[in-house]
């Protein structure tokens, strides 16, 4: 299990290939990557604030719970903070499992939980000014699935 919280960019290709290569017993690897979306009203940057210390602990707890619920060989979570430009990658998760259903469900679980239970806050900077991204009811509702 590998959990990283960092300001620096990560290399999706190298991370995906490295994660898959380290998994020697899994037939299924799933990755999810979140990218700063260029919204209609001219996004200039996205700033991500977090809670150092709690962030790492929360991500580790979420990843541990995923490993307990599904038969996984490994799980990876990388989440950035700081100022990101449109097109930059915000975060990624990867899961490896003997069966695809476990790999998919665990990746979705990781995403649903880190959306609403890991202490990150996004602020969008547009020409019109800065605005905190509001949490979506649909993200909170997604947790009821698990």
Partner 1 sequence: MNVLYFAWVRERIGLPREEIETEAATVADLVTELCGREDRYAAAFADLSALRVAVDQTLSDFDAPLVGVREVAFFPPMTGG
| 3-state per-residue secondary structure call for the chain | CEEEEECCCCCHHHHHHHHHHHCCCCCEEEEEEEECCCCCCCEEEEEEEECCCHHHHHHHHHHHHHHHHCCCCEEEEEEECEEECCCCEEEEEEEEECCHHHHHHHHHHHHHHHHHCCCEEEEEEECCEEEECCCCHHHHHHHHHC
Stretch that binds a second copy, among 49-57, 61-69, 104-112, 118-126 (CB under 8 A): 104-112
Number of residues that bind a second copy (CB under 8 A): 35
Regarding 107 and contact with partner 1 (CB under 8 A), the answer is no
Which residue lies nearer to a second copy by CB, 21 or 52? 21
Question: What's CA 87's distance to the chain center, in Å?
Answer: 16
Regarding 87 and contact with a second copy (CB under 8 A), the answer is yes
Find the radius of gyration of the CA atoms of the chain: 16
Smallest gap from residue 53 Cβ to a second copy (A): 27
Smallest gap from residue 111 Cβ to partner 1 (A): 6
Regarding 37 and contact with a second copy (CB under 8 A), the answer is yes
Regarding 141 and contact with partner 1 (CB under 8 A), the answer is no
Interface residue list for partner 1 (CB under 8 A): 34, 49, 51, 53-54, 57-58, 79, 90-91, 100, 111, 114-123, 132-135, 139-140
Interface residue list for a second copy (CB under 8 A): 11-14, 16-18, 20, 23-38, 87, 89, 98, 100-101, 103-104, 107-108, 111, 142
């Amino acid at each position: 299990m590998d959990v990283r919280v960092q300001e620096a960019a990560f290399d999706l290709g190298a991370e995906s290939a490295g994660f898959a290569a380290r998994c020697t017993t899994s037939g299924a690897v799933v990755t999810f990557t979140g990218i700063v979306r260029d919204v209609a009203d001219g996004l200039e940057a996205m700033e991500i604030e977090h809670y150092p210390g709690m962030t790492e602990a929360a991500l580790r707890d979420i990843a541990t719970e995923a490993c307990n619920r599904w038969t996984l060989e490994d799980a990876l979570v990388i989440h950035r903070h700081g100022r990101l430009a449109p097109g930059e990658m915000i975060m990624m998760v990867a899961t490896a499992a003997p069966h695809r259903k476990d790999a998919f469900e665990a990746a979705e679980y990781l995403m649903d939980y880190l959306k609403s239970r890991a202490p990150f806050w996004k602020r969008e900077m547009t020409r019109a000014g800065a605005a905190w991204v509001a949490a979506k009811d649909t993200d909170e509702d997604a947790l009821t699935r698990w």
